[in-house]
Structure 1
Amino acid sequence: MTNVLVVGYGTIGQRLADGVSLQDDMNLIGVVDAAMSLSIRALKEKGMPYDLYAVNETCRAELAANGIPVRGLLEEALEKTDIVLDATSAGVGAKNKEQYKKYGVKAVFQGGEKNDVADVFFHGYANYEKGLHADFLKLTSCNTTGLIRAVDCLDKKCGIEKVAITIVRRVADPGDYHRGLTNALQVDKAPNHQALDLMTILPEIKATGILVHAPVTHGHFITVVATPKRDISVKEAIDTFKEHNRIRMVRLDEGFQGNASIFKYARDLGRPRGDLYEICIWEDTIVKSGKDIMFGIHIPQESVTIPETIDAIRAAMAMDTDGKTAVEKTNKNLGLGGWK
């Protein structure tokens, strides 16, 4: 069993803890946080299903003052850990890295950290083998993770020469107020970082893109125009996407009108927090323009990176040396593909 510690019990950290606890070959040591929060209050009310460790004594005192049971300090948890999943705020992970090195612990960082924090910029399906035995890996962002799933899927089928993407990006996660109350769209300079990151993972594909921030919270929407190396029909593209266990195909006439419909469906399924690990592609959006294939993707930003993060554990710890075998184990334990 591989001993895993989650550092940062926020939006991503909660979901990572849940995901690791579902794996039959991993042991969750616990979760670490630095301050009292609604997430910690909920953890207590749920009966402390995970041991909680405090970053330092000051944090432990604050948590204790709020009646939160604390198992110990971060240093004590690191002594029992093989690999850390760092889900802290951007920039904090880079500082934490020195402590992980001190204890000889591997670490996986989320997409908000700079690329130089890690040895490998990682995606489970696209470059699993590059992560084997690596000490420090960094995940792609939520949008890039989902985008690569779709583009890599087509690339393996017919080869992809280039892609042009437009991202309609949710402005904040549900419950966040730091962006304020807005009624506007905001455009970023092109190309967006997701296109550049895609080329880092899949260097044989040329990519560019535009990003627009929208005042919504439940998911991003990406349009992709992909130029295949050989002609591929709409039906072939649909059939190829359907084979991928981290892609869910949806249709407008089924009631999937947009991001809110998908979020409601996940809640109706009984998914914790209304989460989906899969990206959704609307069959109705898959069209051709000459040789190019165009389609639209829904990205569930709070949960989409969880499967690839678990893949990263398998790679760094060399639990599986074959990427296909590794992702199939992750998928099975998370229940991905079982709905087909």
Structure 2
Amino acid sequence: MFASERSWIESDAVAQCHQVAALDGMIHVAGMPDLHPGKGAPIGAAMASTVLYPFLVGSDIGCGIAVFPVDRKRVVPEQVARRFPDLDRALDPDRDADDPAWSVVDGDIPAGHLEGLGTVGRGNHFVELARIHTVLDSGHTARLGLAADDLVLIVHSGSRGLGERILRAHTERHGAGPAEDPTGYLASHDAAVRWGSLNRRLIAARVLSALGARPTEPIVDMCHNLVEFRDGVYLHRKGAAPGDGRDVLVAGTRGTYSYLVAAHAGPEANRSVAHGAGRKMSRADALRRGRAKHTVEELRRTPLGSLVVCGDRQLLVEEAPTAYKRIEQVIADLVEHGLATPAASTIPLVTYKTLDRPDGTARPAGRRDREQNRRSRGRS
């Protein structure tokens, strides 16, 4: 466990780590400071094994966070919030043939999967226009082309229905057991990882075009739901970002800072770092407590002054900042254990979850929305 005594780590999450450690072929389980219980497996863990277990990656294969520079200096958050495109509506090659977002596509769509293309999804996925708040390592941020007060677009999304289809094909035959054909699974898995990365680029291009900015290449694009085969071992990451010398955006909440870090985790941490603040409350607990504690309007403008675009009241409450751990403690734990060095913090200006109604009010969740949120539980 790479967490201090000051960190909030649920006993259920630790118990899940012990259950995973007892699986056939398991060599080493590393729990990150954002560790929390997931659906069948812990979230915020990196697990090395001689056996490949698809359920340890989960259904949102390829989920990750990308950071895109924004070539604008000044924005008005209220105007930005109104100009976000509908990221629940997928891009269609025929209907949307003239959409400038297609310019970021180079080659074929991985797996030929067009369903959900250019959409952000539900659960804890988001798109956020943020500003570089504090530069903590000027040399590192300069190499990334960033400086204080620069704008960035942060996109957190995954492979949408593709990853779910891949996992279902396995679980219908093998449940939580190992992959019968690791090579075949990895081929599908790798396509989903590529799809997730492309989708983050498409989402960013849609948003930047809508804001009157040009699409840019990401300066960070790190997947935190995947499995890698290296040195004869399968390294499963479920809500854990690769930490072997790469840059990672460790996401806070829509009401707190996030942190861009230089990751340098060693083998004792399975070369991984935390991917975000990590949930402190289950979605059910967040709904029960949040409805009594917060009004919709309080949740749509954060204590930092940023705005939240979210047309689903249930999702708005489930993803309240109070449902998550303190990002500062997560970062402190990474530093204390020598896993990462913070380079800069970002402050949210506008966070998009799902489109508002035309009158600007949040709509109640429909049956399809509730089903999507149910499926997203346990994802990261």
Q: What is the TM-score normalised by the length of structure 2?
A: 0.26
Higher relative contact order (CA 8 A, sep 6+): 2
Q: What is the TM-score normalised by the length of structure 1?
A: 0.29
Q: Return the structure number with greater helix share.
A: 1
